Structure 1
Amino acid sequence: MQKITPYLWFDTQAEEAAAHYTAIFKDSRIVSTVPGPEGRAMLVNFELQGQPFVGLNGGPAFHFTEAISFFVDCDDQAEVDELWARLSEGGEEGQCGWLKDRYGVSWQIVPKALGELMGDPDPAKASRVMHAMLGMTKLDIQALHDAHDGI
């Protein structure tokens, strides 16, 4: 059991968001809902790849900001591309692998290769990767490798 669970405050879209996220991430599910007023759920308990989340339909008092984001560690470009397309649909693309989804939640869609390339002991190579990343919206693994290699 996780000791820390992200608790997301939505206006009225907690069930919709949980269904959206569980359709995107493999091994995910809606665990339970707690009924609320007007036939909507008050709380939605769901898991994304084993990580528990709670969605609250709390009304319009609070909104998401980029001050909190979910970092998704991707194995390859296909995973980056799929998650980027599905999460950014109806939302906003940002820089350096960041996006806001249709609900205003911020995500970082990052290939594992980025950390490896930026961690190169050669500071010139690591710097070229950093500069390449800063010019990207969705991260491109091949372009990061090209920058690393000075191509």
Structure 2
Amino acid sequence: MSKITPFLWFDGQAEEAMNFYVSVFNDSKILNVNRYGDAGPGPKGTVMTASFLLNGQPFLALNGGPVFQFTPAISFVVNCETQEEVDSYWAKLSAGGQEGQCAWLTDKFGISWQIVPKQLGQLLSDPDPAKAGRVMQAMLEMSKIDIAELQRAYDEA
């Protein structure tokens, strides 16, 4: 078991969210589902807690009610190798949610994600401040990151 596991508090959507996320990420599976019984406090048979893996990372979900909401102050970063990977995760996770700026989106459950190509960090870390600055400026104008557009900004003379 992982030393640190993200714990997600839902208002009745824990099972739907878990199934959705497991369908989005490779190397993912449901580990365990505990349902409310006669003692409640949730409706009998509904998910109380669920544990699952996303790309090998463990998560725990709870149907805890409307007391707490998700906020963009906490997000999950998905590191991508290719534009195709960026496009796929972006399309799946933003469906029914909201696209943000600079690689950020909020999914249909209110969880924030950053879909980041590895090239972004490489280009922003260039020792030439002019190149890194052009990449930063290009990124600030994007929602979903376009690797080719970042590279064009980087290569401008």
Tell me which interval the TM-score lies in, with the shorter structure as reference length: over 0.9
RMSD: 0.8
C-alpha displacement of 1:2: 1.1
- The equivalent position to 1:72 in structure 2, one of 53, 78, 93, is 78
C-alpha displacement of 1:150: 1.0
1:110 aligns with 2:116: yes
Question: Which residue is equivalent to 1:21?
Answer: 21
Between the aligned partners of 1:28 and 1:46, the Cα distance in structure 2 is 7
State the secondary structure of the residue aligned to 1:86.
helix
Between the aligned partners of 2:152 and 2:62, the Cα distance in structure 1 is 44
Structure 2, unpaired ranges of 5+: 37-41
- TM-score of the superposition, structure 1-length normalised? 0.98
What's the CA shift string for 1:56-94, capped at 9, x where partnerless?
Answer: 000011110000000010000000000000000000000
Between the aligned partners of 2:7 and 2:153, the Cα distance in structure 1 is 38
Counterpart amino acid of residue 68 in structure 2: F
State the secondary structure of the residue aligned to 1:34.
strand
C-alpha displacement of 1:109: 0.2
4+ long deviations beyond 2 Å: none
1:83 aligns with 2:66: no
Between the aligned partners of 1:50 and 1:89, the Cα distance in structure 2 is 23
Q: How does 1:129-148 map to 2 (within 5 A)?
A: 129-148=135-154
Question: Which residue is equivalent to 2:68?
Answer: 62
Moved more, 35-44 or 2-11: 35-44
Between the aligned partners of 1:40 and 1:29, the Cα distance in structure 2 is 19
- TM-score of the superposition, structure 2-length normalised? 0.94
C-alpha displacement of 1:8: 0.2
Between the aligned partners of 1:55 and 1:15, the Cα distance in structure 2 is 8
Counterpart amino acid of residue 88 in structure 1: S
